[in-house]
Amino acid sequence: MEKGVLLFNPRATNFNARIPNSVLQVAASIDGKYPWVIVDGNKEKDPWRKIEDYLATGNFSYFGCTVMPGPQLKEAIPFSKKIRDLFPTIKIIWGGYFASNQYKTCLESGFVDFVINGPGDYTFPSLLDALESKSDFSYIKNLIYKAENEIIKTAKAELLDLDKLPALPYDKLNEFYPLSNYLCKTYLGKKTIAYHSSFGCPFTCSFCAIVPIYNARWKGKSAKGIYDDILHIKQTYGGDSLEFHDNNFFVSEKRTVEFAKQIKSENITWWGEARIDTMYKYSDESLKVIRDSGCKMIFFGAETGNDEVLKQMDKGGTQTGAQILAFAERLKKFDIIPEYSFVLGMPAPTEEQVNKQIEEDISFIKKIKKVNPDTEIIIYTYSPVPTEGSDLYEKVIAAGFKFPEKLEDWISPQWEKFDLRKNPLTPWLKPYMIDKIRDFETVLNGTYPSCSDIRLTPLKRKIIKTISSWRYVSGIYSFPKEIRLFQKIWKYRQPETEGF
Ligand code: B12
Ligand code: SF4
Q: Does the residue 237 lie in any domain?
A: yes
Q: How far is the CA of 203 from the centre of ligand 2 (A)?
A: 6
- Which of 176-180, 246-250, 338-342, 489-493 shows the lowest mean pLDDT across its residues? 489-493
Q: What percent of the chain has pLDDT over 90?
A: 79
Mark whether 191 and 336 lie in a shared domain. Answer: yes
Mark whether 359 and 280 lie in a shared domain. Answer: yes
Residue 385's pLDDT is 73
Mark whether 231 and 373 lie in a shared domain. Answer: yes
pLDDT digits (tens, 9 = 90+) for 424-456: 678 899 989 999 999 999 999 999 998 888 888
Q: How far is the CA of 497 from the centre of ligand 2 (A)?
A: 18
Q: H/E/C letters for each residue in the chain? A: CCCEEEEEECCCCCCCCCCCHHHHHHHHHHCCCCCEEEEECCCCCCHHHHHHHHHHCCCEEEEEEECCCCCCHHHHHHHHHHHHHHCCCCEEEEECHHHHHCHHHHHHCCCCCEEECCCCCCHHHHHHHHHHCCCCCCCCCCEEEEECCEEEECCCCCCCCHHHCCCCCHHHHHHHCCHHHHCECCCCCCCEEEECCEEECCCCCCCCCCHHHHCCCEEECCHHHHHHHHHHHHHHHCCCEEEECCCCCCCCHHHHHHHHHHHHHHCCEEEEEECHHHHCCCCHHHHHHHHHCCEEEEEEEEECCCHHHHHHHCCCCCCCHHHHHHHHHHHHHHCCEEEEEEEECCCCCCHHHHHHHHHHHHHHHHHHHHHCCCCEEEEEECCCCCCCCCHHHHHHHHCCCCCCCCHHHHHCHHHHHHHCCCCCCCCCCCHHHHHHHHHHHHHHHHHCCCCCCCCCCHHHHHHHHHHHHHHHHHCCCCCCHHHHHHHHHCCCCCHHHHCC
Q: Which residues of 39-59 are buried (b: 16+ CB within 10 A; e: fewer)?
A: bbbbbbeebeebbeebbeeee
Report, as an integer, the average pLDDT of 163-183: 97
Collect contacts of 472-476 with beta carbons under 8 A, ≥24 apart: 472/366, 472/443, 472/444, 472/446, 472/447
Q: Residue 54: is its pLDDT beyond 70?
A: yes
State which of 15, 31, 68 you would mutate to test the pocket of ligand 1, scoring each by most atoms of that ligand within 8 A of its C-beta. 68
Mark whether 112 and 205 lie in a shared domain. Answer: no
Alpha carbon nearest to ligand 1 atom 75, residue = 497
State which of 199, 217, 247 you would mutate to test the pocket of ligand 2, scoring each by most atoms of that ligand within 8 A of its C-beta. 247
Alpha carbon nearest to ligand 1 atom 54, residue = 245
pLDDT digits (tens, 9 = 90+) for 304-360: 999 999 988 876 678 999 999 999 999 999 999 999 999 999 989 999 999 999 999
Q: Which domain holds residue 240?
A: 183-390
Residue 384's pLDDT is 80
Q: How far is the CA of 328 from the centre of ligand 1 (A)?
A: 27
Q: How far is the CA of 254 from the centre of ligand 1 (A)?
A: 26
Rounded Cα distance, 343 and 389, in Å: 21
Task: Give yes or no for residue 24 CB within 6 A of ligand 2.
Answer: no
Q: Does the residue 139 lie in any domain?
A: yes
Task: Give yes or no for residue 248 CB within 6 A of ligand 2.
Answer: yes
Q: Does the residue 247 lie in any domain?
A: yes
Mark whether 189 and 55 lie in a shared domain. Answer: no
Q: Does the residue 458 lie in any domain?
A: no
pLDDT digits (tens, 9 = 90+) for 286-305: 999 999 999 999 999 999 99
Residue 499's pLDDT is 52
Q: How many domains does the chain fold into?
A: 2
Mark whether 235 and 331 lie in a shared domain. Answer: yes
Strands 198-200 and 218-220 come out as antiparallel
Q: Does the residue 192 lie in any domain?
A: yes
What CATH number does residue 138 fall under? Answer: 3.40.50.2300
Q: What contacts 147, CB < 8 A, 6 or more positions away?
A: 138
Mark whether 135 and 247 lie in a shared domain. Answer: no
Mark whether 141 and 229 lie in a shared domain. Answer: no
Of residues 383 and 443, the one with the higher pLDDT is 443
Q: Does the residue 445 lie in any domain?
A: no
In which band, very low, low, confident or very high, does the pLDDT at 208 lie, cut at 50, 70 and 90?
A: confident
Q: Which ligand is nearest to the CA of 452?
A: 1
In which band, very low, low, confident or very high, does the pLDDT at 420 lie, cut at 50, 70 and 90?
A: low
Rounded Cα distance, 158 and 278, in Å: 24
Mark whether 206 and 106 lie in a shared domain. Answer: no
Q: Does the residue 162 lie in any domain?
A: no
Nearest Cα residue to 280 out of 330, 205, 246: 330
Mark whether 117 and 190 lie in a shared domain. Answer: no
Report, as an integer, the average pLDDT of 63-81: 95
Q: How far is the CA of 314 from the centre of ligand 2 (A)?
A: 8
Mark whether 73 and 218 lie in a shared domain. Answer: no
Q: Which atom of ligand 1 is nearest to the CA of 7?
A: 45
Q: Does the residue 488 lie in any domain?
A: no
Q: Are 391 and 342 in contact (CB under 8 A)?
A: no
What CATH number does residue 278 fall under? Answer: 3.20.20.70
Cα angle value 142/148/153 (rounded, 5°)? 15
Q: Are 499 and 16 in contact (CB under 8 A)?
A: yes
pLDDT digits (tens, 9 = 90+) for 102-160: 999 999 999 999 999 999 999 999 999 999 999 999 999 999 999 988 999 999 999 99
Q: Which atom of ligand 2 is nearest to the CA of 207?
A: 7
| C-alpha distances out from residue 477 to 83, 201, 380, 437, 496, Å | 48, 36, 17, 9, 21
Mark whether 189 and 89 lie in a shared domain. Answer: no
Final residue in a domain of this structure, among 390, 415, 435: 390
Q: How far is the CA of 172 from the centre of ligand 1 (A)?
A: 21
